Structures are given as structure tokens and as C-alpha cells.
Amino acid sequence: MVRVLFVEASSGGVVGGSLTGLHHLIRGLDRARIASAMALYEHKEIEAELRDMSVPVHHVSRRRVPKQHALLQYDGYHRAKSVDAVRSVLGLLRQSLRIAIEEFPAATQLARVIRRVGADVVHLGNGVRANFDGILACWLTRTPCVCHVKGFEKYSNRERWAARHIDALVCMTEAVRAHCLQHGVQGRTTHVVYDALDETEFTPQRDAVAVRAELGITNGSPCIGVVGNVQEWKGQAVLVEAMAHIIDRVPKAHAFIVGGVHRAGTAYNERLKQRIRELHLDGALSATGFRSDVADVMNALDVIVHTSVRPEPFGRVILEGMFLGKPVVASAAGGVPELIRDGETGFLTPPGDATGLAERLIPLLQDPVLRERIGQRARAWVREQFSLQRHVAAMSTIYESLTRTH
């Protein structure tokens, strides 16, 4: 049996995507082959569920070097930082403080946990930068290290050094792996393992007709929607501009912006509202605000739209739409093109191209048979390529291979 210690270093009091992904992975592992334990850097609501699965939870504390300090109020400090040599020295000083105050103390605590649970492998869930102390802990204990990278991170020489001590660098898409290689971040081995969609966690609970009626759609209008927090890089404005073209050809079409307003998106949300009024789209485009029943709302739509204007490493909402049997039209950037076979299981459009988005959406809104055909292909594709079973099998193979080579 392989004993794996999963490490989740996020803070902020929320259960984010990295911890959710580890939770799903642990739930899917064969307990006769792999025994799991979890190390957290703060208390999380998910701990009770982990313990119900007989997964012991350990806690590690990490102090933070404050980003705000007294020197910031002096103009001379900012002038000095504009000099390259001074900026380099200050950067080295801050890195030294981080290692001394944050990372090395946390690494020694985590090393004790690694020894306590007798871990054969440590799985770090937050990437190279955020798990620098975890990499140090593995180095101190000579424990094989898996580091999961799920974003386009910024890298420096310290991350390039750390990566050389990672036994298995796991990237969530080929696009993420290419980004790592481009910046000289390479583990002893590097793998691409796509994140999975846990079908048991994303199942509609209400009838689609009832949800449509609640949303104010009772006349059989074809509906599209973009799902996610309202913030500028998510590109909801692209859908607004596209709707100005769509209603000329599909007058009954209705669009929804589904999601709460991110704390950084308040001004952007006001600009969206103003633009909707300017384009006279008040009757054709609605914002639902935050919804706890996202699966129900997405299931009530006819087409799911992904409009991010910045490359995303993955795009879970795309898989969710496909799993529900909906055709998805998505921005072709980052890892997104790996999730969709353009023209077969969905459609890709250039990021930020409202006209191109409209031209892709209009035929789908006009043709329910086309929607059904693409949606069924999408559902079959996502269940085959992005199942939890496939994800678990790939990760289990990596764990077991590391124990054989150490």
C-alpha cells in the first residue's frame, strides 16, 4: 500500500478549487492500494467529510511576511525602487525574509507531519510558488514529491531551483506544461493529467422547465448564458456585444449572465449595465446574480458560453456544460482548446471577438436539432475523457511509480 500525504496550503477561509480537486481525488482512490492523509495550513469546512472517509487531517501554521510596511509612505523609497540595482537587492532581501520567516519554519513543521504519517509520497496541490515550503519539506525528509500545477504562474530562479527537486510535476493541461517548460520549470518527470468532473457533485435537482419559468422564460425562447463571477477578465462584456448582433437574426433569443459580482468587478459590472442600456438589450439580457443552484440554471439553458478574454489554464464550467449535454462555445486560449473538438463537441472562437461569437451562436439558436447533436457528442466526450475514474487512475499510477523508483 502507498501512503500519500496531500498538502493544501491555501488560506482565506474558503474551500477553493485546489482543495475541492484533492477531495474528489481522495474520494475516488482505491483504499486497498492507497492510504490518504491531509495537511492543511488552516482549518477548512471540508475536514469533517475527510475524517468521515477515515482521512486523518493535520495542521501546519505559516507566518506571513506583511506586504505593507512603513517605508511605503515615503516617496524616497519608491524612487529608490525604480533603480534596478536597488530593486534587485530589495527583492533578494524579501526572498530571504520569506524563507526565514515563512517557508523554512513551515517546512520543518510539515517535515514532522510527513514523518508522523510515514508518507511514501507527498502530493502538493498548489503549484510550485505556493508550495515552496512543501518542496523544502520533501527535500529535508527525502520523500518523493508530486507538485500539481493548475495555473500560468510567474516563475523566478527560486522556482526553477525548486522544480529540480520535484519528482513528478503534474500539469492540468498541455498549455500549462508548455508554460512551465517555457520558463525553465521542469520536474524530474513531467505529466499532464486533466482535472476531472465528478458527476455525483454536479447533477440538476429541478426540472428545466420550472427553472426557465423562474427565470422569466415561458415562450420557448432559445437561451444562452455565461457562468462565473462577474469580473473583467471573464469577458461578460463580449456576450453583451454579441447579443446586439444575435437579436437581429434571432429576435426571441435571451442571454443570462450567471454569477455574483467579484469584489474586483464592481466598476466593471456597472459598465456592463450601462452598455446593456445603450444597446437596448434590457429585455433580451438578464443577470441572475449569485446562484447556489448552478447545475439547475445551466441545465435550463440551451447553449453555454465561455467568454474569458485572458487565457485560462482549464475552464471547469466548460466541462460542466458539456456534461449536461449542452453545446458550448468557448474562447480559444490557454488550455480551453484541449477541452473541445471544434465543430464536433463544441465550438471555439477568438477571445474578445463579439462578432465571431455571435456568428457561432446564431446557427445553434436557430436549430434545436444541431444543439441536440452537438450536446450529445459533448456529453459522451466529457464522460470519456474527463471522468473521475480516468483522473484517479492516472494519479495512482504516478504515486505507485514513485514508490518503485525510490
What the block records as the C-alpha cell of 204 is 440538476
Report the predicted TM-score, pTM, of the whole model to 2 decimal places: 0.86
Q: Which residue has the higher pLDDT, 64 or 252?
A: 252
pLDDT of residue 102: 76
Q: Would the pLDDT of 406 be above 80?
A: no
pLDDT recorded at residue 381: 95
Of 195, 248, 192, 246, the residue nearest 223 (C-alpha):
246
> Which cell numbers in the block locate residue 122?
507527498
List the grid coordinates of 43: 482549518
The mean pLDDT of 37-63, rounded to a whole number, is 90
Range 362-383 average pLDDT:
96
Write down the pLDDT at residue 85.
59
Residue, of 346 and 21, whose pLDDT is higher? 346
Tell me how far apart the alpha carbons of residues 266 and 278 are, in angstroms, rounded to a whole number: 19
Q: What is the four-CA torsion angle of 328, 329, 331, 335, rounded to 10 degrees?
A: 30
Q: How confident is the model at residue 80 (pLDDT cuts 50, 70, 90)?
A: low
The CATH architecture one would assign to domain 2-193 is 3-Layer(aba) Sandwich (3.40)
Q: Which of 147, 144, 196, 186 is nearest to 164 (CA)?
A: 186
Q: Look at residue 76 in the predicted model and tell me its pLDDT.
A: 58
Query: What is the pLDDT at residue 63?
Result: 73
Q: What is the pLDDT of residue 263?
A: 82
Q: Quick one: average pLDDT of 149-163? A: 92
Could you tell me if 168 and 398 are in contact, meaning their C-beta atoms sit under 8 angstroms apart?
yes
| C-alpha angle 128-163-172 in degrees, rounded to nearest 5 | 55
402: nearest Cα among 45, 122, 207: 122
C-alpha cell at 139: 527535500
Q: What pLDDT shows up at residue 19?
A: 82
Q: Identify the H or E element spanning 358.
A: helix 354-366
**Please, which residues bridge with residue 123 across strands?**
6, 146
Q: Mean pLDDT in the chain?
A: 90
pLDDT of residue 98: 66
Domain ranges of the chain: 2-193, 199-385
pLDDT at 9: 87
149: which 3 cell numbers? 500545477
Q: Nearest to residue 305, comparing CAs of 358, 367, 269, 341? A: 358
Does the fold of domain 199-385 match that of domain 2-193? yes
Q: Hey, what's the cell of 129?
A: 510558488
Weakest-pLDDT range from 42-51, 170-179, 252-261, 273-282: 42-51
**199-385: CATH architecture:** 3-Layer(aba) Sandwich (3.40)
16 neighbors 130 (Cβ within 8 angstroms)? no
Strand order in the sheet with 328-331: 285-289, 254-258, 223-227, 303-305, 328-331, 347-349
Give 62's pLDDT tier (boundaries 50, 70, 90): confident
Is residue 20 within 8 A of residue 201, CB to CB? The reply is no
Residues of the chain with pLDDT > 70, as a percent, come to 89
pLDDT recorded at residue 210 = 92
pLDDT confidence band for 93 (50 / 70 / 90):
low
Task: Measure the CA–CA gap between 105 and 112, rounded to whole angstroms.
Answer: 11
pLDDT score of 222: 95
